[in-house]
């Protein structure tokens, strides 16, 4: 999950993500496939995939061939297995989608600046749900299907387990959390806009978080 644009910021942030891709809204730059490396060291040239979407804000790639990117007006674009990008599709009204994370090719979750989240499950985008209404959800990480952590601009984190969101938990009072990464269902690390990091388990016990 790689954040590039925040509400109120006019200029997109360029983010290098695990050596795979970075956003230059509204274009996406990616590593070229083997045999097609560019002169710039393996990166392809920018490709406009969402020209009217107000800027791409986040991208997630559950496999080497499948990626999803979201934008500032509630759209998603999908890099498909045939190496083409889909047309933008509205999945969250006109909300500013800030982050997206895919645990697999069949399960993803996006977050928006209005405190909502929208899930993709087995080929279908569900209706957006109010997770923390009126609060800017800034970053999402989903280590497995049905297990996610989202952080917000007021130093709080929320956990999604098996269809239910927790109440907000203050983990970094007074600071805006800007990113979160959960390598497993057992642990996460979040970062804020003051240069701090905060580590937390994703939920109380493995038995409670492991999808069935």
Asked if the model's pLDDT at residue 50 lies above 90, the reply is: no
Q: Per-residue pLDDT tens for 200-211?
A: 655 443 333 333
**pTM for this predicted structure:** 0.76
* CA quadruple 83, 91, 134, 150: dihedral, nearest 10: -40
Asked if the model's pLDDT at residue 12 lies above 50, the reply is: no
List the beta strands (DSSP E) in the chain: 21-24, 27-30, 47-48, 56-60, 67-71, 75-79, 89-90, 97-104, 107-112, 116-121, 124-125, 129-130, 137-144, 147-152, 156-161, 164-165, 169-170, 177-184, 187-192, 197-200
Structural domain includes residue 178:
yes
Structural domain includes residue 8:
no
Structural domain includes residue 191:
yes
Asked if the model's pLDDT at residue 32 lies above 70, the reply is: no
Asked if the model's pLDDT at residue 40 lies above 60, the reply is: no
Structural domain includes residue 156:
yes
How many structural domains is the chain composed of?
A: 1
**For the residues 47-66, what does the mean pLDDT come to?**
87
Range of the domain at 89: 21-209
**For the residues 125-152, what does the mean pLDDT come to?**
95
Which residues on neighbouring strands pair with residue 150, listed in sequence order? Answer: 140, 158
CATH of the domain at 101: 2.130.10.10
Asked if the model's pLDDT at residue 142 lies above 80, the reply is: yes
- Please give the pLDDT value at position 54: 76
- Please give the residue that has the higher pLDDT: either 8 or 124: 124
Q: Per-residue pLDDT tens for 70-92?
A: 999 999 999 888 888 899 999 99
Q: Per-residue pLDDT tens for 165-209?
A: 999 999 999 999 999 999 998 889 999 998 877 776 554 433 333
Report percent pLDDT > 90 for the chain: 55
């Amino acid at each position: 999950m790689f954040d590039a644009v925040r509400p109120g910021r006019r200029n997109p942030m360029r983010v290098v993500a695990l050596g795979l891709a970075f956003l230059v809204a509204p274009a996406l730059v990616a590593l070229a496939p083997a045999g097609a490396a560019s002169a710039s060291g393996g990166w392809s040239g920018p490709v406009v995939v969402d020209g009217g979407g107000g800027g791409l804000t986040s991208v997630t790639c559950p496999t080497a061939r499948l990626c999803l990117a979201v934008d500032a007006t509630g759209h998603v674009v999908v890099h498909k297995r045939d190496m083409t990008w889909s047309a933008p599709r509205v999945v969250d009204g006109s909300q500013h989608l800030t982050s997206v994370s895919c645990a697999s090719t069949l399960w993803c979750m996006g977050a928006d600046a209005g405190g909502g989240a929208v899930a993709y499950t087995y080929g279908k985008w569900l209706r957006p749900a109010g997770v923390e209404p009126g609060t800017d959800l800034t970053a999402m990480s989903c280590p497995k299907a049905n297990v996610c952590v989202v952080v917000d601009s007021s130093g709080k984190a929320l956990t999604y387990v098996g269809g239910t969101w927790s109440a907000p938990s203050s983990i970094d009072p007074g600071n805006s959390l800007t990113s979160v990464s959960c390598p497993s269902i057992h642990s996460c690390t979040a970062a804020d806009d003051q240069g701090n990091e905060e580590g937390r388990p994703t939920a109380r016990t493995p038995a409670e978080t492991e999808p069935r």
